[in-house]
Amino acid sequence: MTALDDYTRRAAELDASNPLASARSHFDLPEAESYFLGNSLGPLTHAARAAVVETLDEEWRNGLVRTWHDGDWLALAGSTGDLVARVIGAPAGSVVACDSTSVALFKVLSAAAAINKSASRRVLLCDSRNFPTDRYVARSVADLHGLEFVELEVTDMPRRFADDVAVMTASMIDYRSADLHDVRALTAAAHEHCILTVWDLAHAAGAVNCDVFDNDVDFAVGCGYKYLNGGPGAPAYLYAAPRIIGSVSQPIPGWFGHAEPFAFEDTFRPAAGIARFSSGTTHVLSMKAMHAALGVVTKYPVEDLRSTCIRLGDFFVEGYETFLSSSGFGLGSRRDGSQRGGHIALLHADAERMSKELIARGLVVDFRPPNVIRIAFSPLFLRFADVARLIGELTLLN
């Protein structure tokens, strides 16, 4: 038996003892593929398909407009937000699903800037390694509110925290390297200077413990289509701390955020809670898919999601060290799984060609210029056998 055979045998043993092994049955996955891109687009759940079909064939076709009041459409943004809340460690009633991540980020950054800027607080501090859209939005908010826009790496931010900073924003997970930032410590350090914090959880929710309430986060946003498996273009979500929600307003007031949407008043009166961050009409079809997919995610403890994600990643790192590290590959992510998000950046000078060949062989990975093969370890459907298969194929491509 070769070392790779032994590695593959151990994968089967790990799959047999995986507490999330049964979760795979909830997903409609191509049999011949091993899918390592759940951090980009989560796969289809049987529940999401059934929910959309039900919405089309019954609620829309037969119920028509009556379903807004006779069904659950009016409450859908809030009830979907409550499912997200269970994943990110937020209280019920503090999360609403709506918009895209960019729009949600614009809303909460604007809200934070509006209530915390002053003559002496004139800085918006942004993660310089953040996803480009986040940086575009943050710069726009700074310009609109007359704030100085300052970019720094997250690890350098505490040295810049001071009483002239109004808002800081960063991602919990570095989308390139998968570095996991210490949200609790950074938020506490920011609060020492009365800085409001806005965290992007897009690459975190469903793969790590976010614990936004326990970490005293002020605002957070994220998308529904990565580890939450809500589908392409799934709604985003936003969180506002219960202690702050009553004192904030958002920049895109709309009738779904009104205290009485069907009163059709001339003046906007915000809803009492997180619903005030809604704007336009709920996108029912996409929200139904996301709601159903979240029903699958929330069947399992967040702690099991996190531990399985770490174990899958650590098993890959073990394979890398044994079979790849001396063959031109490098590791662009931390070896310590507790310091890493849900994906790993594998480095190689020929990464683009290798990514294409892996995809052609049924191992769906991601290429990021100039030299990164990005591999995600989604805990609900990925198997240790998939990881062993990937390591085996990588040994053949070099």
- Catalytic residue positions, numbered: 131, 200, 225-226, 374
Inter-residue contact 373 to 351 (CB < 8 Å): yes
Q: How far apart, in whole angstroms, are the C-alpha atoms of residue 212 and residue 187?
A: 10
Q: How far apart, in whole angstroms, are the C-alpha atoms of residue 240 and residue 91?
A: 10
Q: What is the 3-state secondary structure (H, E, C) of 55-108?
A: HHHHHHCCCHHHHHHHCCCCCHHHHHHHHHHHHHCCCCCCEEEECCHHHHHHHH
> Beta-carbon neighbour count of residue 78 at 10 Å?
20
- SS3 state of residue 34: strand
**Taking each helix axis from N to C terminus, what angle separates 284-297 and 46-54, rounded to the nearest 10 degrees?**
150
Question: What letter would DSSP give residue 335?
Answer: S
Inter-residue contact 218 to 196 (CB < 8 Å): yes
Question: What letter would DSSP give residue 384?
Answer: H
Q: How far apart, in whole angstroms, are the C-alpha atoms of residue 366 and residue 371?
A: 11
Largest CA distance in the chain: 77
208 CB contacts (<8 Å, ≥6 apart)? 172, 173, 180, 306, 309, 341, 342
Return the closest-CA partner of residue 188 out of 197, 179, 175, 177. 197
User: Tokens 């191992």 belong to which residue?
Assistant: 363
Return the closest-CA partner of residue 176 out of 145, 222, 140, 130. 130
The alpha carbons of the chain give a radius of gyration, in whole angstroms, of: 22
